[in-house]
Structure 1
Amino acid sequence: MAQETTVARPYAEAAFELAREAEALAGWADGLALAATVVADERVDAVLGNPRVDDERKAGLILEVCGDALDPQQRNFIRLLVNRDRITLLPEIRQQFDLLRADHEKTLRAELITAQPVDDTVRDRLARALSDRLEREVTLEIRLDESLIGGAVVRAGDLVIDGSVRGRLARLTGALSR
């Protein structure tokens, strides 16, 4: 995984620069997401892994499935990845592109994991507090996890705030065992 990240990073940065210069970050994000979904399909993956299929046909397959959703620069980027035998890294490239875009736009997706549903007022207040603390526009997604017993866990990038009963019990157990 770390090696994939290292190899994918320069491609993600190049795609990001092309998108930024063209003022088309959203279009590139959508195009990379679509192409990454196509590449991740097991039928397409079988063709991409077949040594008897030449690069032109591999790229053609992806581009045909994507149709008109990709602009000429994006189509060339797909061809480049196929020619350099890096097309299977497209999901990782897309993920790194999304991180670069979020950093550029000062946005962050955070996840609130709770044992019980949260009303909109609490969600909005927490999103504002995270936005203030992290100095980014935070989009908060909520996920229920009944195994937490109570409380909540917030994950925002590298930041994890564990206020769950399960987390408190784990910390207490660790403190008592020392």
Structure 2
Amino acid sequence: MAELSTIARPYAQAAFDVAKAESALSAWNDFLSAAATAASQDEIRQLAKNPSVTSFQLIDIFEKVVAPSTASMRNFLGAVVSANRVDAFPAIAHAFSAHKHAFEGSADAYIVSAFPLEASQAKELVSALEKKLSKKLNPTLSVDASLIGGFCVTVGDEVLDMSVRAKLARMQSALTA
């Protein structure tokens, strides 16, 4: 069986093309996120695998749960469900988000700090990161006391670990080498 990301790629591209044509990237992103959340529910997954549930019934359930706001969203939902690809919705949403970020020149940034950041500190850090990466960032902040001090930032596949824990690990590695 093909990887879900391989299956999701053409669906995400089609959704992106339609969303771009409709100038509704945010609405489509919200719609696909809702569909991914719904598809991740145990009850929905069981219904999707149940041979006695028709695709029309499953589409109806999805429309009630996700509430697509346009005809193109309803058609997309119907196409994915009819093709028995409900399990691909999370991968479709992820791939769509990647297309959206590339188009907008933005990225999601996951910032983990050892201590809670004040609003001004977070704004300053995000501003410096945007300048360094030449991208508009959508930050998500969290706290992890095990970092001891500093912060760790993940943007896509790039990781900037400026934590005390990482510095101690590098020093230990250098001393034992």
Output the TM-score relative to the length of structure 2.
Answer: 0.92
Q: For the residues of structure 1 that align with 2:25 and 2:157, how far apart are their CA atoms?
A: 23
Give yes or no for contact 1:148–1:164 (8 Å, CA) kept in 2: yes
Within a 5 Å distance, the mapping from 1:154-173 to structure 2 comes to: 154-173=153-172
Give yes or no for contact 1:149–1:164 (8 Å, CA) kept in 2: yes
Q: What is the match of residue 33 of structure 2?
A: 33
1:59, distance to aligned residue in structure 2 (A): 1.3
> Runs of at least 4 residues of structure 1 off by over 6 A?
none
Question: Is 1:18 aligned with 2:18?
Answer: yes
Q: For the residues of structure 2 that align with 1:57 and 1:78, how far apart are their CA atoms?
A: 13
Percent identity of the aligned residues?
33
Q: What is the match of residue 112 of structure 1?
A: 111
Give yes or no for contact 2:48–2:84 (8 Å, CA) kept in 1: no
Q: For the residues of structure 1 that align with 2:173 and 2:6, how far apart are their CA atoms?
A: 35
Which 10-residue stretch deviates more, 23-32 or 35-44? 35-44
Q: For the residues of structure 1 that align with 2:152 and 2:24, how far apart are their CA atoms?
A: 34
Query: In the alignment, residue 27 of structure 1 is paired with which amino acid?
Result: A
1:117, distance to aligned residue in structure 2 (A): 1.6
Question: Is 1:53 aligned with 2:53?
Answer: yes
Give yes or no for contact 1:112–1:152 (8 Å, CA) kept in 2: yes
Give yes or no for contact 1:78–1:87 (8 Å, CA) kept in 2: no
Q: What is the match of residue 137 of structure 1?
A: 136
Task: Classify the secondary structure of the residue corresponding to 1:51.
Answer: coil
Equivalent pairs counted in the alignment come to 176
1:104, distance to aligned residue in structure 2 (A): 0.7
Output the TM-score relative to the length of structure 1.
Answer: 0.91
Give yes or no for contact 1:38–1:62 (8 Å, CA) kept in 2: yes
Name structure 2 gaps, 5 residues minimum.
none
Q: CA RMSD in A?
A: 1.6
Q: Deviations over 1:21-53 (max 9, x none)?
A: 111111111111222222222112111110121
1:90, distance to aligned residue in structure 2 (A): 0.4
Q: For the residues of structure 2 that align with 1:66 and 1:158, how far apart are their CA atoms?
A: 30
Q: For the residues of structure 1 that align with 2:107 and 2:62, how far apart are their CA atoms?
A: 30
Which 10-residue stretch deviates more, 167-176 or 147-156? 167-176
Task: Classify the secondary structure of the residue corresponding to 1:23.
Answer: coil
Q: What is the match of residue 62 of structure 1?
A: 62
Name structure 1 gaps, 5 residues minimum.
none
Within a 5 Å distance, the mapping from 1:69-80 to structure 2 comes to: 69-80=68-79
Q: For the residues of structure 1 that align with 2:64 and 2:119, how far apart are their CA atoms?
A: 42
1:93, distance to aligned residue in structure 2 (A): 0.4
